[in-house]
Structure 1
Amino acid sequence: MKILLWSVGKNNDPYVKPGIDDFTRRITRYFPCEWELIAPPKNATKKNEGEGILQKLTKDDYLVALDERGKQMTSEGLAQFLQARANTGGKNLVFLIGGVYGLDESVLARADYRWSLSQLTLPHQLVRLVLTEQLYRACTILRNEKYHHA
């Protein structure tokens, strides 16, 4: 299984880039993992951003849409989720962070899972950092490594 981290928006700001890069590198010890920043189209709307995202997905991709109305889970729950996805033998597990206006309903309808990181409103840059840290934490939980203290 390969983990693909997609985010609609601009490049990482200097205050979060080192953390995102570090946790992404750590995740690759467990699963192949890569980021793709998706530039919003000119005169972006949720609809045309959504169309572009849907074109990028393959039918076999398992899409996790980060959405404020999604389900929340604990770090241990995320670890179980990752393990379950790895056990299915699927090719790509795609985590998607929408643009400034969120994700279009067409993308949410295509999503296999809708996940809310928090009830708080978080800046997109910070969501990228929290997402990578939590995925790394989940990987260490699966291997019973010392990073996570429960």
Structure 2
Amino acid sequence: MLQIKILAVGRLKEDYWLSASREYIKRLGRLVRISVQEVADEPAPEGISGAVQEQIKMREGERLLRHLRPGDYAVALDLKGRRLSSEDLADWLAGHAIRGRSSLAFFIGGSLGLADQVLERCQERFKLSDLTFPHQLARIILLEQLYRACKINAGEAYHK
């Protein structure tokens, strides 16, 4: 069974994010092994220098990378990443399953994005949209799209 890890900076605090996340994790749990690892985010007040922003991303990135295992195929959610349709994501997941690559890890950065050391470790980068989302919503969108892709691959009704 495919194992998918979501490695994310910051906790979901608001009830609506938590509720949505729990619902999609429950739905996905029938189709794949899914886990979410959250790491602490660093305070990033407005007006900090670029150098300080890089230090913050580096510390967050170190925390994220501690959860990556040697066999994990790593994917960064990144504004410069490749755009996929829901069908493309389904094909991508199926391709990894066919090739026996059973452990996938998706990285979601904090408000400043992902550190260079995380991006360098990732084999691929995906872009969720041309729109910009808060990282909490990006996690929900990723969970929903993974669920949609799994339903497409299972031939079950959901995708319309």
Give the alignment's TM-score, normalised by structure 1.
0.92
Pairwise CA distance, 1:18? 1.2
Q: Partner residue of 1:78?
A: 89
8 Å CA contact retained: 2:111, 2:134: no
The equivalences for 1:134-145 within 5 A come to 134-145=145-156
Task: Tell me the equivalent position of 1:109.
Answer: 120
Aligned pairs for 1:45-84 within 5 A: 45-84=56-95
Aligned to 1:27: 28
Q: CA deviation at 1:41?
A: 5.4
Query: Which consecutive residues of structure 2, in runs of 5 or more, have no partner in the other structure?
Result: 45-54
TM-score, reference length from structure 2:
0.86
Fraction of identical pairs, as percent = 40
Q: Is the 8 A contact 1:6 1:36 kept in 2?
A: yes
Do the aligned partners of residues 11 and 19 (structure 1) sit closer, same or farther apart at CA in structure 2, a change above 3 Å counting? closer
Q: Tell me if structure 2 keeps the 8 A contact 1:3–1:94.
A: yes
Query: 1-side partners of 2:67 and 2:158: how far apart?
Result: 34
Q: C-alpha separation between the residues in 2 aligned to 1:35 and 1:58?
A: 14
Max Rg structure? 2
Q: Secondary structure at the match of 1:82?
A: helix
Gaps of 5+ in 1: none
Deviation larger for 73-82 or 90-99 = 90-99
Q: Is the 8 A contact 2:7 2:64 kept in 1?
A: no
After TM superposition, the structure 1 stretch with the greater mean CA deviation from structure 2, 17-26 or 5-14, is 5-14
The alpha-carbon deviation at position 91 of structure 1 amounts to: 3.9
2 CA distance for matches of 1:64 and 1:96?
Answer: 6
Q: Provide the secondary structure at the position in 2 that maps to 1:16.
A: helix
CA distance in 1 between partners of 2:42 and 2:111 (Å): 13
Amino acid at match of 2:80: R
Structure 1 partner of 2:4? 3
SS at 2:66 equivalent = helix
Q: Over aligned residue pairs, what C-alpha RMSD do you find?
A: 1.6
